[in-house]
Amino acid sequence: MKGHVCKVCFYISINGSAPEKCPVCGAPKSAFEEKADAIKTPQDSANLTELEKKHIPTILVLKKCGLIPGCLDAHAKIGEILHPAQPEHHIVHIDFYLNNELISRVMLKPENLNPAAALHIKATSGKLACVSLCNLHGAWIREVNL
């Protein structure tokens, strides 16, 4: 999948253009590089390979939040088969997008955290995307409708 990648923090713009300023690190537009293969997607979504099963995020959206009334809970776990969390092979970060615009980045330290994150989202409709970055196998995406 095509995207514009920040060469400083590896944020990937998925809305079709590079931003004037990176929403994660503040780098200028000149720090972005357009890549045709910025984000990996499955070859056949009905028959995932083991590599794909470990890298494509799974997203669970709960329509009723247990903490904040009126919001949605979005839970992301990296991999149908849980991705490793070891110094030599881990998920660096998970980026969340609402309608192709970044809403959050969760940084992960493999020594202390499993490859998962959760958000409390104010929106009740739209498209939620989750992009995970593996230090060895690159970025992977999953999208769901709220």
CATH second-level architecture of 41-145? Sandwich (2.60)
Give the model's pLDDT for residue 27: 98
**Residue 16: HSE in the Cβ half-sphere, 13 Å Cα cutoff:** 1
| Residue type (1 letter), 88 | E
Give the model's pLDDT for residue 136: 97
Give the model's pLDDT for residue 29: 98
Q: What residue ranges do the domains of the chain occupy?
A: 1-38, 41-145
In whole angstroms, what is the distance from residue 112 CA to residue 99 CA?
31
Give the model's pLDDT for residue 65: 82
74 and 61 in contact (C-beta within 8 Å)?
yes
Q: Pick out the chain residues at pLDDT < 70.
A: none
Pick the CATH number of 1-38 from 2.20.28.10, 3.90.480.10, 3.40.190.10, 3.90.180.10: 2.20.28.10
Give the model's pLDDT for residue 124: 85
Mark 27-57 as b/e (b = at least 16 C-beta within 10 Å). Answer: beeebbeeeeebbbebeeeeebeeebebbbb
Give the model's pLDDT for residue 91: 97
In whole angstroms, what is the distance from residue 72 CA to residue 83 CA?
25
Q: What is the pTM of this model?
A: 0.94
Look up residue 94 and give its DSSP letter: E
